[in-house]
C-alpha cells in the first residue's frame, strides 16, 4: 500500500489498486489482469544468520529457492529480508519453505492490508506501515510485512530503500541483539519503524510554525493550500499510526509463544514511543485546524482594512464631489441671483482652499476617532 500527497493535489497518484479477482479462492497467489506488466523489478534478497556464540553469516542477492527453513532445535537466528515486492511464484516458494499461511501471503501480494497481526500455528504475520517523506515533499506510506517464527524472521518491504541497515550493523558489531532470539530482532525492526516517525513529525512541526508566521504576515492563497496539504498529510499519518499502536499492544499480550518476557519489556518501550508519535500527530492536527482559522481571520482582517480604506477615501471625496458638482452647474451669469464667486478673479483658488481645509479637517477627525 503506497499513498502519496504531492505538492499539487491534482497530481495525486496511487501506485497500487486492489488486485483481488472476483471469485478467486482465499489465499490464491495470482495477479489481477495486467498487474504483472506493471510489477516493479524483482526484490533484492538478503540472508543474515547469527548465533549467541558470536558467529554472523551474511549473504546478499540470494535466490528464493536457496533459502531453507531453520531446524526447530537450532540456536541460530535467521533473518531473511526482501527489499521490494516479490512475485506470486516467489511467495509460493517462500510459503512452502517456511510453512507460511496462504492468507498472509495473499496480503503481502496485494499490499492493501492495514496494520494488523495474525497468529497462526507456527508463526505470526504482522503488517506495519512505514511513513516517510520523499525529496519532492511527498508523503509516502509503505507496507512492511513480517513473518515471525521461533528462530527466524522474514521481512518484506515494498520500498526500494532499505531502512533496516542500522539494525543490520548492530548485528555485525555483535551488539545486544545477538544475545536474544528472533523475537528481539522483530522488536528492533519495529522500533526502527516507530522511531522513523519522529524526524518526520519534527520537520512537519517546523513547517507548521513557519506557516503560522507566514500567515500572520501575508495570508496568501499559497499559504492556504499548504495548510490543506499539511492537514491531508496528518490525516494519512493518523490512519497509518493508530492501527500500529494496536498491533504493538497485541504483541505485548503474547502468551509466550513468540515473545519472551525480556523482549516484552522492550516492546513496552516501543509502545510508549508509538503513543508519543500519535500524540504529536493529534497536536499537529489541532494546530493545522487552528492555522486555517487563523488564515480566515487574517483574510477577514485584511478585507476589513481594505474596506475601511476605501470607505475613508469615499467619505473624503463626498463633500469634494458636492462642491465640484455645485460649481459645475451652468447658470446665467447675467442673473443677479447667480453665484458671485464665478466673477471673482481668485474664485478657483478659493474653492481649492476650501477643499483642502475640508480634507485636512476630516483626516484630523478620523485620526481623533482612531479610524486611521
Q: How confident is the model at residue 17 (pLDDT cuts 50, 70, 90)?
A: very low
**Look-up: residue for cell 522513523?**
196
* Domain 4-297: CATH class, spelled out: alpha beta
**Confidence check: pLDDT of 13 > 80:** no
Non-local (6+) Cβ contacts of 17 within 8 A are 32
72-91: average pLDDT:
85
Q: How confident is the model at residue 3 (pLDDT cuts 50, 70, 90)?
A: very low
Residue 79: count other Cβ atoms within 10 Å of its Cβ. 23
**Confidence check: pLDDT of 113 > 90:** no
Pick from 37-51, 189-203, 212-226 the range whose average pLDDT is largest.
189-203
Q: How confident is the model at residue 27 (pLDDT cuts 50, 70, 90)?
A: low
Indicate the helix (H) or strand (E) that contains 140.
Answer: strand 139-148
Q: What is the DSSP letter of 40?
A: P
| CA–CA distance, 115 with 181 (Å, rounded to integer) | 24
157-166: average pLDDT:
84
pTM recorded for the entire structure: 0.76
Phi and psi at residue 167, in whole multiples of 5°? -65, -40
In 3D space, the residue among 156, 176, 159 whose CA is nearest the CA of residue 82 turns out to be 156
Considering only 117-126, 194-203, 324-333, 342-351, which range has the smallest mean pLDDT? 324-333
**Confidence check: pLDDT of 36 > 70:** no
**Confidence check: pLDDT of 132 > 50:** yes
Q: How confident is the model at residue 11 (pLDDT cuts 50, 70, 90)?
A: very low
Considering only 1-10, 72-81, 129-138, which range has the smallest mean pLDDT? 1-10
pLDDT of residue 23: 56
pLDDT of residue 2: 47
Condensed to tens digits (0 to 9), the pLDDT of residues 290-306 reads 888 888 888 888 888 88
Hey, what's the cell of 215?
500567515
Domain extents in the chain:
4-297, 330-368
User: Which residues, listed in sequence order, are joined to residue 132 by a DSSP beta bridge?
Assistant: 140
Q: How confident is the model at residue 230 (pLDDT cuts 50, 70, 90)?
A: confident
Q: How confident is the model at residue 277 (pLDDT cuts 50, 70, 90)?
A: very high
141-160: average pLDDT:
89
Task: Please give the mean pLDDT across all residues of the chain.
Answer: 81
Amino acid at each position: 500500500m503506497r499513498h502519496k500527497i504531492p505538492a499539487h493535489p491534482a497530481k495525486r497518484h496511487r501506485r497500487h489498486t486492489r488486485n483481488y479477482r472476483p471469485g478467486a479462492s482465499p489465499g490464491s497467489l495470482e495477479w489481477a489482469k495486467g498487474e504483472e506488466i506493471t510489477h516493479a523489478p524483482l526484490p533484492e534478497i538478503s540472508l543474515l544468520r547469527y548465533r549467541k556464540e558470536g558467529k554472523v553469516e551474511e549473504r546478499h542477492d540470494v535466490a528464493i529457492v536457496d533459502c531453507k527453513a531453520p531446524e526447530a532445535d537450532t540456536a541460530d537466528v535467521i533473518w531473511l529480508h526482501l527489499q521490494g515486492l516479490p512475485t506470486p511464484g516467489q511467495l509460493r516458494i517462500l510459503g512452502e519453505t517456511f510453512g507460511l499461511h496462504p492468507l498472509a501471503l495473499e496480503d503481502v501480494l496485494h499490499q492493501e492490508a492495514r496494520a494488523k497481526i495474525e497468529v497462526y500455528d507456527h508463526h505470526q504475520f504482522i503488517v506495519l506501515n512505514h511513513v516517510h517523506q520523499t525529496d519532492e515533499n511527498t508523503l509516502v506510506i509503505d507496507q512492511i510485512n513480517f513473518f515471525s517464527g521461533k528462530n527466524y524472521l522474514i521481512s518484506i518491504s515494498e520500498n526500494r530503500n532499505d531502512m533496516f541497515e542500522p539494525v543490520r550493523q548492530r548485528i555485525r558489531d555483535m551488539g545486544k541483539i545477538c544475545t536474544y532470539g528472533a523475537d528481539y530482532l522483530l522488536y528492533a525492526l519495529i522500533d526502527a519503524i516507530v522511531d522513523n516517525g519522529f524526524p518526520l513529525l519534527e520537520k512537519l512541526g517546523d513547517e507548521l510554525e513557519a506557516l503560522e508566521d507566514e500567515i500572520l504576515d501575508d495570508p496568501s492563497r499559497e499559504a492556504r493550500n499548504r495548510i490543506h496539504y499539511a492537514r491531508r498529510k496528518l490525516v494519512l499519518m493518523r490512519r497509518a499510526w493508530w492501527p500500529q499502536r494496536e498491533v504493538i499492544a497485541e504483541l505485548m499480550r503474547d502468551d509466550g509463544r513468540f515473545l519472551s518476557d525480556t523482549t516484552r519489556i522492550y516492546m513496552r518501550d516501543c509502545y510508549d514511543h508509538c503513543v508519543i508519535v500519535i500524540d504529536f500527530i493529534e497536536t499537529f492536527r489541532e494546530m493545522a485546524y487552528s492555522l486555517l482559522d487563523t488564515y480566515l481571520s487574517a483574510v477577514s482582517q485584511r478585507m476589513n482594512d481594505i474596506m475601511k480604506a476605501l470607505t475613508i477615501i469615499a467619505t473624503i471625496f463626498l463633500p469634494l464631489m458636492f462642491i465640484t458638482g455645485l460649481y459645475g452647474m451652468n447658470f446665467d451669469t447675467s442673473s443677479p441671483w447667480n453665484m458671485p464667486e464665478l466673477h471673482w478673479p481668485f474664485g478657483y483658488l478659493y474653492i481649492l482652499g476650501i477643499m483642502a481645509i475640508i480634507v485636512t479637517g476630516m483626516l484630523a477627525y478620523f485620526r481623533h476617532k482612531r479610524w486611521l
